[in-house]
Amino acid sequence: ITKAMQMVAASKMRRAQQAALAGRPYAELMNKVLAEVSAGAGEFSHPLIHEGSGEKRALIVISSDKGLCGGLNSNLLREAGKAPKDSTVFISAGRKASQFLARTKRDLAAEFSYKDAPQFAEARAISKMAQDMFLKGEVSGVDVLFTNFISTLVQKPEIKTFLPIGEIQGIKAG
């Protein structure tokens, strides 16, 4: 029985690792396209390119729903805890983030849950809410806090700017 459980766990781990790595080329290319567009925008102006008028910044925290995953959630939530309470509005995706933000009495604008394999529609709902908050002037910008998969033993929390698009960094234009 133990050997069968080990084989099932190894299979699940392989699938999770493949899923984590499969989206990386798309994300890198999308980041490069956004950098190229914002660098070549010139006089073009759009509300999503410039800093918003809100006093606070939104932070989308993406966690897992379950524990028992080593330091994955604890490292991520430790990073979320560093965000200033008085100038940050939080949006949680995942049960562990929701629980942490409620327990630490953070300004939680919304909670989203998703299944083991998140769907595009679920991500779109989170994105739409963040864009609406930004365009209405409720927040000056939106950042995303997530776990960057490096290997099965190493996952590091990372914060990326989502809005305004003009602040997106990482891959330089050109």
Neighbours of 104 (CB within 10 A): 13
Gap between the Cα atoms of 73 and 118, Å rounded: 17
Gap between the Cα atoms of 1 and 29, Å rounded: 44
Q: For tokens 């290319």, what's the residue?
A: 29
Q: What are phi and psi of 70, to 5 degrees?
A: 65, -140
Q: Which residues contact 85 (CB under 8 A, 6 or more apart)?
A: 105, 106, 107
Active site (annotated) includes residue 69: yes
Q: Which of 69, 150, 154, 173 is catalytic?
A: 69
Task: Read off the DSSP letter of residue 23.
Answer: T
Cα diameter, the chain: 66
Residues annotated as part of the active site: 69
